[in-house]
Amino acid sequence: MIVLRSILFNVLFYISTLIIMLACMFLFVLPVRYCWWLIPFWARTEKFLLRWVAGVKSEVKGLENIPDTGCIIVSKHQSAWETFALAEYYRQPTYILKKELRYVPFFGWYLMKFRQIPVDRGKKGKALSEMSKKAAEAIAEGRNIVIYPEGTRRPAGAEPQYKYGIVHLYKTLNCPIVPVALNSGVYWPRRRFFRFPGTITGEFLEPIQPGLQPDEFFKTLQERIEGASDRLLDEAEKATPDNIIIKEARARQAEYKKNKDFAWKSDVSKEEGRLCLKGGFFFDNALAQLVICSQFVL
């Protein structure tokens, strides 16, 4: 049954995404302020399909922790779920992404329409300066910048690998940081076809205010996200104890936590991290791949 439901959901996800992109082409002639409704509409559509086709519910906690002003959403990243399911709760979500994604038909056009922040990684220092300027403009407009500090999807229970580049934005933009914990990798595991029944939970945590020293901020951010994500993994285990992904997650945790000297750290040097151009916190390819594939499945 899981196989059939997963096949049906994946097909419907691709088809519905393509239909929405085609049906909403008229938005390109309208000012962007009249277009933001499309993002929550798309998110709710896909969550509806995920719930009733694949049997995966979506639960979101801590919405009161999202400030009314511009802020940076810093999210744990385990699957494609968080790239769309949480989008309806953001205020004009803004992603930092590779400039090449702008050239993808349909998908790239929408990225430009919604004024996402492209970065030319070949320009290095200049790219960082341009990115910081555009990010500051987005924050001034009250928008939410969305970042995945590990730079790519990590399996549930895997050792955290945060990039130090998030510290640059924290110091430069001087705005609240809202950490996000989740357990999406239990029910929507990365690089796997199956969607396992259960409830994915995403939780917005208490904001980290400006003013901390770089290393203190970096440690605080990881401790909050990883601590809450471990708690959500515990809750998932109680709710669906037979889920095979949870067993794999526990094995990963045991492997890296058996090292008594383990401490929260970045997997790149601080000097590299300041450049923010080595994968860092860019808009992850997971969702891009899903959307691009939807253009070719018909």
**Average pLDDT score, the chain:** 88
What span, in angstroms and rounded, lies between the C-alpha atoms of 111 and 104? 10
The CATH number that domain 56-285 falls under is 3.40.1130
Give the Cβ contact number of residue 294 at 10 Å.
22
pTM: predicted TM-score of the whole model, two decimal places: 0.88
Break the chain into its structural domains and give their ranges.
56-285
Sign of CA dihedral 184, 149, 74, 276: negative
- Residues 40-87: pLDDT tens digits? 999 999 999 999 999 999 999 999 999 999 999 999 999 999 999 999
Q: Terminal CA-to-CA distance of the chain, rounded, Å?
A: 24
Residue 261 has what pLDDT? 56
* CB-based contacts of 166, cutoff 8 Å, min separation 6: 74, 147, 149, 177, 218, 221, 281
Q: How many CB atoms lie within 10 A of CB 64?
A: 8
- pLDDT, tens only, 95-104: 988 888 888 8
Task: Find where tokens 């970065």 sit.
Answer: 119
pLDDT in tens, 199-238: 999 999 999 999 999 999 999 999 999 999 999 999 999 9
Provide, rounded to the nearest whole percent, the portion of the chain with pLDDT above 70. 86
In this predicted structure, the answer to whether residue 182 has a pLDDT above a threshold of 90 is yes
Q: Cα 111–115–116 angle (5° rounding)?
A: 60
Q: Confirm if 78 and 219 have CB atoms less than 8 A apart.
A: no
